[in-house]
Amino acid sequence: MKRALVIAGVIAFAALSLAVAQSETPSSGQKTLAATMDVYVFPTEGQAADQQSKDESECYNWAVGQTGNDPFDLNKQAQQQQQQSQQAAKDAQQVGKGAGATGAVKGAAAGALVGAIASDDAGKWAAYGAAAGAVSGRRRGQQAQQQATQQVEKQSQQTQQATAEQIENFKKAFGVCLEAKNYMVKY
């Protein structure tokens, strides 16, 4: 009798475990197409997962056709643009380097010329001119460097903003299509 109850209990437990396992949706760990773009889609009419996947794919292709933008390509371009901006920022730091030395040379030449014209000590005037030229050259170099850095930052921001707008427009088109297929969409 005890044996029969234990066997019946084991069978009941196994059946219950199997029923629970079948009713749960297995998590594959993969994101849906919409989820990879940070778009949240809920089937309002109980569409099956395979139907939702098909609908998302159709709407993705439709949105690409309508906007002319593929968000995955845009993300790749944005990464490339970011790398280019970083390189341009490094290059901008080099703008104006050596301007102090160049200014010193020019100042020394001008000072020597003034000293020669004034029939004074050309070497002394060249030294004064070199000092003044170095200070002036460094100042101009720093200004050029700041301007170059600001220009790179401004261009980078404009590019990032344009890319973000293109992705936003794609998501709008993608969402409109899915809403027409009876899904709730948020992004």
Name the average pLDDT for the chain: 77
pLDDT given at position 146? 81
- What pLDDT digit, counting tens, does each position of 56-80 carry? 999 999 999 999 999 999 988 888 8
- CB-count exposure of residue 45 (10 Å: 0-12, 13-18, 19+): exposed
Mean pLDDT, range 116-120, rounded to an integer:
65
- What pLDDT digit, counting tens, does each position of 19-33 carry? 434 433 444 567 889
Kindly report the length of the chain.
187
Provide the pLDDT confidence category of residue 161 given band limits of 50, 70 and 90.
very high
- CA count, 13 A, side-chain hemisphere, 151: 12
DSSP state of 42: E
The ranges assigned to domains in the chain are: 2-25+32-186
Give the Cα separation of 23 and 75 in Å (integer): 38
Mean pLDDT, range 150-176, rounded to an integer:
91
Provide the pLDDT confidence category of residue 38 given band limits of 50, 70 and 90.
very high
pLDDT given at position 21? 41
